[in-house]
């Protein structure tokens, strides 16, 4: 056997990826075919591939390759996201390590560093995706800060502003003191923390009385501007209208009354700090309280912090508690668990802060996007996410879209005066100037008089346009590409960004295209380790995907990822799965090695046995193909893979190839060979989405192909209804084979010893699969007999009795025992069936088919009892 050696994944994978790239198979242009489009969830431009990406992109590649084979014009648009806050944080850290502070730089200087960083690290992740086999249309690679995409973002901002949906407001926002920027509500993670509830006495002005207040944040008392009680709280009636003295700063503040206060929590008396708490702010507005901000942007205290000025909030908390103790104001301290908001990006504890920010009104925009999901115009897979989605959309709040960052799209608002409203919003400076002149009535205004808003837009304000902007559908809403590729078909992403991204894309889709951005959203789970911990860099429990690919091959890793990834459920990743994947690849490869080693002869006519094997496998293939289609239609990708896996491993390799395999040293009929190869090729087609490399390799080795005949662009097998009778008949044969194998094993009859087989009913085994029995079990002859031959081993398949007359192996006692056991079981079964059938309520209520099935069982059981009795008799 010449030539074909062990499989070398690395070599094969590099070779075929280059080949696919060089021949442009991944590239899509508009043509007469129906498009099938996926836009990649753009990873952070400077990110590196992690297991989540791996899962995500493997799924997308499976879908896109399958679509390509099914004759769609498959287009998978890759790209990256500028990831405003994440990237800026990395650049700031990098500069810091070089001794440069961001505050020392101008915006332009900083952006230069950021671009340099982006060019250096950007796109690494896309190169990594290529190792995985991702068949993205790389010519279409986009970046959210490409000039055209940036223009689209600005255009949308201006448009929404003019529609009155974007506004500037002085609001309580989530402040990340580490990144020194605001965050949207979605970027705040609430974590349960063990804290304390401090009970502090405030002195009542002009009296000896004290009032006890409970708080988790004693340091904010420096910003207190009132104390609030419930108007109907009998404990505090005498305090109405009085004032109290805030400890340490000695500020005299009013006691106000509001039903907002819960009488049953703490002491029923609340300190009000309008600058540092959302609810207090509401109270402050209602009661016209003074607002005293005590923090700097980095959450150290400002001059309002008195002698604590310049110190960090948490240090101050400790110090203030000590001071209160010294002053005798601290009554007691209780432990208290409560939820603390932290930054999704930096982990810093969020500080509620009042400031001027830009907001997008969401309520009206969200309505069509909510309807679309509820009426399944956009399908969420799995459907359980529909509820989550609805809940969020119904309660959606205005979106804070401004960030105090430099890396990103700068807000196109221009200030021309000192008033709060002295600004205009425009896509270009020229346009802004014109508008500013008009608004101010000052025709003398020049460029120098305009100052652009310093803030950048939230990253998601650009990615929510992604499915549209990658086809330039914002700037040129009528261009052929957007009309052809949009709406896209499937989106594959993580549920974590359902609100951040998916919901907002749907909103943008209806607002800017009047149509859904995609038909289906496949939400993957989180990749976890064996201990169910989320895989993360910080835990160090995440294998490097590229190491895995080195070790198991990309095909092996793809199979490993897909073997256990039901939509929306977490994936318990175990490296053994990749091992299983690579074993599968090896199995496919060895099937090829076998076939390639055969000597082909034109002289040999096709045997009856070969013909039957081919007939059977063709039908079996059809039957499994149908299952695979069904699984894909329900996005059950693991199941589709497992069906393919079993078809190839068990049916194709273990049954079919063993069946047609010529005896050692003999040649195979040329006709048979050609048909075996054709069936092998059909297998390769359905394998290709899962294991693109090994399938292409074998495909190209089975015969010489031109570039138009590559597997990647082959035609998916035609789907026909299988002949189920034929498949059933062979299932019966398999059981007979299995029965004989068991007998051989029990009686220790060597496979080399030829045996005969006697059947009591021709109908089921028939002569059709005699050849299979002969081939698999070394059976020389099959005979038919109505009654059991004397002194034979026996077994039963369904209602048939099979006998193997082998002298010297039959232990009469043991045979009898076995038969009696089987008889007892069958009689017991018959009894239970008859029990059901004699139950009038069952016969009356159960569907006809079910009753008929029971009657059939009864008949079968009776027949079986007869054959067993006959066998017992023959034993004597």
Partner RNA sequence: GGGUCAUUAACUCAGUUGGUUCAGAGUGUUACCUUGACAGGGUAGAAGUCACUGGUUCGAAUCCAGUAUGACCCACCA
Among 10, 742, 754, 869, binds RNA (CB under 7 A): 742
Among 146, 159, 278, 756, binds RNA (CB under 7 A): 278
Nearer to RNA, 545 or 553 (CB): 553
555 and 694 in contact (C-beta within 8 Å)? yes
- Main-chain dihedrals φ then ψ at residue 351, nearest 5 degrees: -110, 120
Among 165, 212, 321, 572, binds RNA (CB under 7 A): 572
Among 373, 557, 604, 657, binds RNA (CB under 7 A): 657
Q: Which stretch binds RNA (CB under 7 A): 45-53, 107-115, 353-361, 560-568?
A: 560-568
Nearer to RNA, 537 or 841 (CB): 841
Helix (H) or strand (E) holding 431: helix 429-440
Nearer to RNA, 570 or 671 (CB): 570
263 binds RNA (CB under 7 A): yes
Build a one-symbol-per-residue string for 169-188: x at contacts with RNA by CB under 7 A, - elsewhere.
----------------xx--
- Main-chain dihedrals φ then ψ at residue 383, nearest 5 degrees: -70, -15
Cβ contacts of residue 198 below 8 Å, gap of 6+?
Answer: 214, 215, 216, 218, 321, 324, 330, 333
Scan residues 137-176 and list those touching RNA (CB under 7 A).
none
Nearer to RNA, 21 or 349 (CB): 349
User: Smallest gap, in angstroms, from Cβ of residue 491 to RNA?
Assistant: 18
268 and 262 in contact (C-beta within 8 Å)? yes
Q: Which stretch binds RNA (CB under 7 A): 142-150, 249-257, 680-688, 850-858?
A: 850-858
Scan residues 325-344 and list those touching RNA (CB under 7 A).
338-339
Among 21, 454, 653, 872, binds RNA (CB under 7 A): 653
297 binds RNA (CB under 7 A): no
Nearer to RNA, 415 or 690 (CB): 690
How far is Cα 354 from Cα 343, in angstroms, rounded to an integer?
17
248 and 254 in contact (C-beta within 8 Å)? no
Nearer to RNA, 265 or 784 (CB): 265
Give me the sheet containing 451-452, strands edge to edge.
Answer: 423-425, 413-415, 451-452
Q: Which has the closest alpha carbon to 269: 220, 210, 330, 228?
A: 228
642 and 563 in contact (C-beta within 8 Å)? yes
How far is Cα 778 from Cα 753, in angstroms, rounded to an integer?
8
Neighbours of 815 (CB within 10 A): 18
Among 328, 395, 441, 540, binds RNA (CB under 7 A): 395
**DSSP string over 829-857:** HHHHHHHHHT-HHHHHHS-HHHHHHHHHH
Q: Which stretch binds RNA (CB under 7 A): 131-139, 237-245, 641-649, 677-685?
A: 641-649
Angle at 168 between CA 410 and CA 279, to 5 degrees: 120
How far is Cα 236 from Cα 230, in angstroms, rounded to an integer?
8
Longest Cα–Cα distance in the chain: 122
Nearer to RNA, 419 or 847 (CB): 847
User: Smallest gap, in angstroms, from Cβ of residue 224 to RNA?
Assistant: 11
Nearer to RNA, 148 or 496 (CB): 496
- Main-chain dihedrals φ then ψ at residue 251, nearest 5 degrees: -70, 140
394 binds RNA (CB under 7 A): no
b/e map 166-199, b = 16+ CB within 10 Å: bebeebbbbbbbbbbbbbbebbbeeeeeebbbbb
Nearer to RNA, 784 or 825 (CB): 825
User: Smallest gap, in angstroms, from Cβ of residue 582 to RNA?
Assistant: 4
582 binds RNA (CB under 7 A): yes
662 and 601 in contact (C-beta within 8 Å)? no
Scan residues 365-384 and list those touching RNA (CB under 7 A).
384
Nearer to RNA, 158 or 773 (CB): 773
How far is Cα 759 from Cα 788, in angstroms, rounded to an integer?
9
User: Smallest gap, in angstroms, from Cβ of residue 379 to RNA?
Assistant: 16
Among 290, 597, 780, 814, binds RNA (CB under 7 A): 597
Q: Which stretch binds RNA (CB under 7 A): 256-264, 303-311, 363-371, 672-680?
A: 256-264
Q: Enumerate the H helices of 122-275 as residue ranges.
A: 124-132, 147-162
**DSSP string over 266-277:** TTSEEEE-TTS-
**DSSP string over 225-258:** -EEEE-TT-GGGGGGTT-EEE-TTT--EEEEEE-
User: Smallest gap, in angstroms, from Cβ of residue 610 to RNA?
Assistant: 16
- Main-chain dihedrals φ then ψ at residue 143, nearest 5 degrees: -135, 135
Neighbours of 310 (CB within 10 A): 12
Cβ contacts of residue 290 below 8 Å, gap of 6+?
Answer: 225, 274, 284
User: Smallest gap, in angstroms, from Cβ of residue 829 to RNA?
Assistant: 4
731 binds RNA (CB under 7 A): no
User: Smallest gap, in angstroms, from Cβ of residue 539 to RNA?
Assistant: 13
Three-state DSSP class for residue 485: helix
Nearer to RNA, 473 or 662 (CB): 662
859 binds RNA (CB under 7 A): no
Scan residues 200-229 and list those touching RNA (CB under 7 A).
214-217
Q: Which stretch binds RNA (CB under 7 A): 78-86, 296-304, 485-493, 558-566?
A: 558-566
Nearer to RNA, 386 or 454 (CB): 386
Among 155, 196, 842, 870, binds RNA (CB under 7 A): 842
Q: Which has the closest alpha carbon to 681: 724, 652, 721, 643?
A: 652
User: Smallest gap, in angstroms, from Cβ of residue 384 to RNA?
Assistant: 4
Nearer to RNA, 216 or 520 (CB): 216
User: Smallest gap, in angstroms, from Cβ of residue 630 to RNA?
Assistant: 8
Scan residues 821-840 and list those touching RNA (CB under 7 A).
825-826, 829, 833, 836, 839
864 binds RNA (CB under 7 A): yes
User: Smallest gap, in angstroms, from Cβ of residue 741 to RNA?
Assistant: 4
Among 112, 322, 364, 576, binds RNA (CB under 7 A): 576
Q: Residue 447 corresponds to which tokens in the numbers above? A: 């460029």
583 binds RNA (CB under 7 A): yes
Among 162, 238, 438, 741, binds RNA (CB under 7 A): 741
Cβ contacts of residue 625 below 8 Å, gap of 6+?
Answer: 686, 717, 719
304 binds RNA (CB under 7 A): no
Q: Which stretch binds RNA (CB under 7 A): 102-110, 142-150, 391-399, 778-786?
A: 391-399
Scan residues 59-98 and list those touching RNA (CB under 7 A).
none
**DSSP string over 324-388:** HHHHT-EEEEEEEEEEEEEETTT-PBPEEEEEEEEEE--HHHHHHHHHHHHTTSSEEESTTHHHH
How far is Cα 121 from Cα 119, in angstroms, rounded to an integer?
6
Q: For tokens 């009778």, what's the residue? A: 725
Nearer to RNA, 597 or 605 (CB): 597
Nearer to RNA, 207 or 742 (CB): 742
Q: For the chain, how far is it from start to end, CA to CA, in angstroms?
A: 54
Nearer to RNA, 69 or 687 (CB): 687
5 binds RNA (CB under 7 A): no
Nearer to RNA, 170 or 825 (CB): 825
287 binds RNA (CB under 7 A): no
Q: Which stretch binds RNA (CB under 7 A): 266-274, 441-449, 482-490, 719-727?
A: 266-274
Scan residues 487-526 and list those touching RNA (CB under 7 A).
495-496, 499
């Amino acid at each position: 056997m010449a030539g074909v050696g062990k499989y070398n994944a690395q070599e094969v994978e590099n070779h075929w990826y280059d080949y696919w790239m060089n021949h442009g198979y991944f590239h899509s242009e508009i043509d007469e075919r129906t498009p099938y489009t996926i836009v990649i969830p753009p990873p952070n431009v400077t990110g590196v591939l992690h297991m989540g990406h791996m899962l995500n992109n493997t799924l997308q590649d499976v879908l896109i390759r399958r679509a390509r084979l099914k004759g769609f014009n498959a287009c998978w648009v890759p790209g990256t996201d500028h990831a405003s806050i994440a990237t800026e944080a990395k650049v700031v850290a990098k500069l810091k390590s070089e001794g440069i502070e961001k505050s020392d730089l101008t915006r332009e200087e900083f952006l230069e560093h950021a671009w340099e960083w982006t060019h250096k690290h950007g796109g690494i992740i896309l190169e990594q995706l290529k190792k995985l086999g991702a068949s993205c249309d790389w010519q279409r690679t986009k970046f959210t800060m490409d000039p055209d995409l940036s223009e689209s973002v600005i255009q949308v901002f201006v448009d929404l502003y003019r529609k009155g949906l974007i506004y500037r407001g002085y609001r309580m926002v989530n402040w990340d003191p580490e990144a020194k920027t605001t965050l949207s509500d979605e970027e705040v993670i609430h974590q349960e923390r063990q804290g304390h509830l401090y009970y502090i006495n405030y002195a009542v002005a002009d009296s000896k009385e004290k009032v006890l207040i409970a708080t988790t944040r004693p340091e904010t008392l420096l910003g207190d501007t009132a104390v609030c009680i419930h108007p109907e709280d009998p404990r505090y009636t005498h305090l109405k209208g009085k004032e109290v003295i805030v400890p340490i700063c000695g500020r005299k503040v009013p006691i106000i009354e509001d039903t907002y206060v819960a009488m049953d929590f703490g002491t029923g008396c609340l300190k009000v700090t309008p600058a540092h708490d959302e609810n207090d702010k509401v109270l402050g507005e209602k009661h016209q309280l003074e607002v005293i901000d005590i923090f700097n942007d980095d959450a150290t205290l400002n001059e309002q912090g008195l002698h604590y000025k310049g110190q960090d909030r948490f240090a101050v908390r400790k110090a203030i508690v000590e001071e209160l103790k010294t002053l005798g104001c601290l009554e007691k301290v209780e432990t208290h668990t409560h939820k603390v908001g932290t930054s999704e990006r930096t982990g810093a504890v969020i500080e509620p802060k009042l400031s001027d920010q830009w907001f997008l009104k969401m309520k009206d925009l969200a309505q069509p996007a909510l309807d679309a999901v509820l009426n399944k115009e956009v399908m969420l897979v799995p459907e359980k996410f529909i509820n989550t989605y609805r809940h969020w959309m119904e309660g959606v709040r205005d979106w804070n879209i401004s960030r105090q960052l430099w890396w990103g799209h700068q807000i196109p608002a221009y200030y021309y005066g000192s008033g709060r409203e002295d600004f205009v919003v425009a896509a270009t400076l020229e346009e802004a100037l014109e508008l500013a002149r008009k608004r101010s009535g000052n025709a003398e205004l020049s460029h120098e008089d305009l100052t652009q808003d310093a803030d950048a837009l939230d990253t998601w304000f650009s990615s929510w346009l992604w499915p549209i902007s990658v086809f330039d559908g914002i700037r040129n809403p009528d261009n052929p590409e957007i009309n052809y590729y949009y709406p896209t078909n499937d989106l594959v992403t993580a549920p974590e960004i359902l609100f951040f991204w998916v919901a907002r894309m749907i909103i943008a889709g209806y607002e800017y295209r009047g149509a859904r951005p995609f038909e289906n959203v496949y939400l993957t789970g989180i990749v976890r380790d064996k201990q169910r911990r989320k895989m993360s860099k910080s835990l160090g429990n995440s294998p490097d995907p590229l190491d895995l690919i080195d070790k198991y091959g990309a095909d092996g890793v793809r199979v490993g990822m897909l073997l256990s990834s039901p939509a929306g459920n977490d994936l318990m990743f175990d490296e053994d799965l990749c091992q299983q994947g690579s074993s599968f690849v090896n199995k496919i490869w060895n099937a090829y090695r076998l076939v390639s080693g055969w000597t082909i002869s034109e002289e040999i006519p096709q045997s009856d046995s070969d013909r039957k094997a081919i007939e059977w496998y063709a039908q079996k293939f059809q039957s499994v193909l149908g299952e695979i289609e069904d699984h894909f239609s329900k996005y059950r990708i693991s199941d589709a893979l497992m069906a393919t896996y079993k078809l190839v491993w068990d049916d194709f390799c273990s049954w079919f190839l063993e069946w047609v395999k010529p005896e050692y040293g003999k040649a195979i009929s040329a006709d048979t060979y050609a048909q075996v190869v054709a069936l092998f090729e059909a297998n390769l087609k359905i394998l290709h989405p899962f294991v693109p490399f090994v399938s292409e390799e074998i495909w190209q080795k089975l015969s010489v192909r031109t570039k138009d005949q590559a597997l990647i662009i082959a035609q998916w097998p035609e789907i026909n209804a299988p002949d189920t009778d034929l498949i059933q008949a062979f299932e019966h044969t398999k059981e007979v084979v299995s029965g004989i194998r068991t007998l051989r094993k029990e009686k220790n009859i060597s496979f080399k010893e030829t045996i005969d087989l006697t059947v009591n009913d021709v109908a089921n085994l028939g002569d059709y699969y005699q050849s299979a029995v002969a081939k698999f079990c070394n059976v020389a002859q099959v005979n038919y007999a109505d009654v059991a031959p004397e002194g034979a081993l026996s077994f039963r398949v369904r209602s048939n009795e099979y006998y193997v007359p082998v002298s010297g192996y039959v232990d009469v006692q043991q045979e009898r025992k076995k038969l009696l056991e089987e008889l007892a079981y069958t009689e017991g079964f018959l009894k239970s069936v008859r029990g059901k059938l004699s139950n009038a309520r069952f016969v009356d209520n159960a569907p006809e088919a079910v009753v008929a099935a029971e009657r059939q069982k009864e008949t079968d059981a009776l027949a079986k009892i007869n054959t067993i009795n006959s066998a017992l008799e023959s034993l004597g």
